[in-house]
Structure formats: C-alpha cells, structure tokens
Amino acid sequence: MTKLTLALAQINTRLGDVNANLEKHLSMAQDAKARGADLIIFPELSLTGYALQDLATSIALRPVPENPVFQQLLAESKNLDIVVGFVEEDERYRFYISAAYLSQGNI
C-alpha cells in the first residue's frame, strides 16, 4: 500500500488580493513539504477570497502555465502536489468557482 501524507491548509485570505494570498500559499507549501507532506490542499477560493461580488471580473484567473500566479505555483508543485481554489474566467468570459490540481510542474 502506498503511503500519502496530506497537509490541509486553513488560511485567512485577503479578499481580492491574489498576490498576498499567493505568498501564503507558497509559504505554507514549503512548510508542508519540510514536514513531509506529499500533497497540500487549500480551501475553496483560497487564491482570490470569498464573497467577491464585483471583484470577480478583475481578479479571475485562467489556470494556464503562462499566468504569472500559476507559474509560481507550478514551480512549487515540483516539490509537492498542490490543490488551490480560485475564480476562473473561461474563453467566453464566464466565471466559475474552480480548483486546480498541480503536480510535477503541470496543471
């Protein structure tokens, strides 16, 4: 049987402040890896914050390697797998509550 060590991150996000939330994600991911975790799971909308209302259109993310936020998370995912939550904007400019699984530098 394969052993998998999980880290569950309960964070207090800053509403609409993706960069501040990203820093928390990276710091907690590094700490989780140092403690032996194989996977860290963040809560729903952990990158963007909850109750966004009018902010959703200005902070929505696309989970692609070219996105600066995801570039940093993908780099960190080479050390341990990461699940993050965010508001996603699709190609037709529709918004969704989404999660991304990042592993070995891939989404």
User: In this structure, are residues 16 and 53 in contact, taking their beta carbons and an 8 Å threshold?
Assistant: no
Q: What is the pLDDT of residues 41-99, one digit of tens each?
A: 999 999 988 876 777 778 888 888 999 999 999 999 999 999 999 999 888 988 999 99
The 8 Å CB, 24+ separation contacts for 28-32 are 29/76, 29/79, 29/80, 29/82, 30/76, 30/79, 32/7, 32/80
pLDDT of residue 59: 83
Label residue 33 by pLDDT band (50, 70, 90): very high
pLDDT of residue 56: 75
